[in-house]
Amino acid sequence: MRPPVPFGQYVPIDSPIHALDPRTKMGLMAAVGITLFTVEGFMGLGVVASMLLVVIALSRVPWHLVTRGLKAVTLLLSFTLLAHALRWEPATVSLVRLGPLAIDQGGLLQGLFFSARIVILVLGSTLLTLTSSPVEITDGLTRIMRPLERLKVPVGDIAMMLTIALRFIPTMAEEAEKIMVAQIARGARFDQRWPVSRARAYIPVLIPLFVNLFKRAEALAIAMEARCYTGGYGRTRLHQSTMTKTDISVLLAACLVLAVIAVTL
């Protein structure tokens, strides 16, 4: 039994979208989000969707990976669509009628509009995580939050914690797997039906995991301090990401186009 190593969905390919600075991509994502919540008609959504399709094509990420994110919202999507389209004893224009239940035309259109908005949002955010690694996103996030340092927000520490956590996810998964295999060898079972009995089955895995975690934390903290780590403030990076001219022009151009769409459509 192998616990799945949940390490993001990043697809390392060489594409113009991958080459963009994570800050540019996050900025674009925010701009797309704002535009989606301002446009009022299908026209606006259509333009944003086609822009997104071009970006997806440029990123050269396989389609099935981009659309995988939609699985998680299948229920929300069908709810949105059905809640709007279905009418009980309808008074308005109905397309299909089934006893007292009917599909309402206006409602269907509205449901489609809202669903399309969700689909674009989900695809956009999935694309962001497909084209930038968690480490890049952390880096971008830290740079964006830098001004908060003036308000005494420990941005450097947050960056350090994100980085260490990301680094240790595979290590933890591996350790969990090792302990689980060892317990299975001793007759443990992790396939019970009920969540409580399953949670109880994990006890002989959890205790060594936590004990090792705190031991490892001690060793790591000592190692960091022995190397003169004195907090995240003012730390520099070996691989500094920079906003290139391309980044700035892409960001400005896209924001301009999105602003026009948001205002006019």
Partner 1 sequence: MQSIPTRILVEISLCVALAVVLNALTLLRMPYGGTVSLVMLPIIVIALRRGVFAGVTTGVIYGLIELMIDPVIVHPLQVVLDYVIAFGAVGVAGIFRTVYLRTAEANSRSIRGLALLFLAVALSSALRYCAHVVSGYIFFAQYAPAGQPAILYSALYNLFVPVSAIGVFAAAALTLPALHSVSLSRARGLNGGQD
Within residues 112-171, the interface with partner 1 by CB under 8 A covers 114, 118, 121-122, 124-126, 128-129, 134, 137-138, 141, 152, 154, 157-158, 160-169, 171
If one asks whether residue 181 binds partner 1 (CB under 8 A), the answer comes out as: no
Q: Report whether 42 contacts 116 (CB < 8 A).
A: yes
Tokens found for residue 185: 């060898």
Total residues belonging to the chain: 265
Question: Of 8 and 46, which has the nearer Cβ to partner 1?
Answer: 8
DSSP string across 110-130: HHHHHHHHHHHHHHHHHHHHH
Q: How far is the CB of 158 from partner 1 (least distance, A)?
A: 7
Quote the DSSP letter at residue 155: H
Question: Of 122 and 250, which has the nearer Cβ to partner 1?
Answer: 122
If one asks whether residue 69 binds partner 1 (CB under 8 A), the answer comes out as: yes
Q: How far is the CB of 101 from partner 1 (least distance, A)?
A: 15
Q: How far is the CB of 105 from partner 1 (least distance, A)?
A: 14
Q: Report whether 109 contacts 93 (CB < 8 A).
A: no
If one asks whether residue 255 binds partner 1 (CB under 8 A), the answer comes out as: no
Span near partner 1 by CB under 8 A; candidates 44-52, 88-96, 224-232, 256-264: 224-232
Residue among 95, 211, 248, 263 that touches partner 1 (CB under 8 A)? 211
Cα(89)–Cα(91) distance, rounded to whole angstroms?
7
Q: How far is the CB of 245 from partner 1 (least distance, A)?
A: 27
Tokens found for residue 175: 């350790």
Question: Of 184 and 224, which has the nearer Cβ to partner 1?
Answer: 224
Q: Report whether 82 contacts 111 (CB < 8 A).
A: yes
Residue among 11, 112, 144, 173 that touches partner 1 (CB under 8 A)? 173
Tokens found for residue 52: 């997104």
Number of Cβ atoms within 10 Å of the Cβ of 143: 18
Q: Report whether 115 contacts 77 (CB < 8 A).
A: yes
Residue 10 is which amino acid? Y
- Residue labelled with tokens 């948001």: 262
If one asks whether residue 90 binds partner 1 (CB under 8 A), the answer comes out as: no
Question: Of 196 and 245, which has the nearer Cβ to partner 1?
Answer: 196
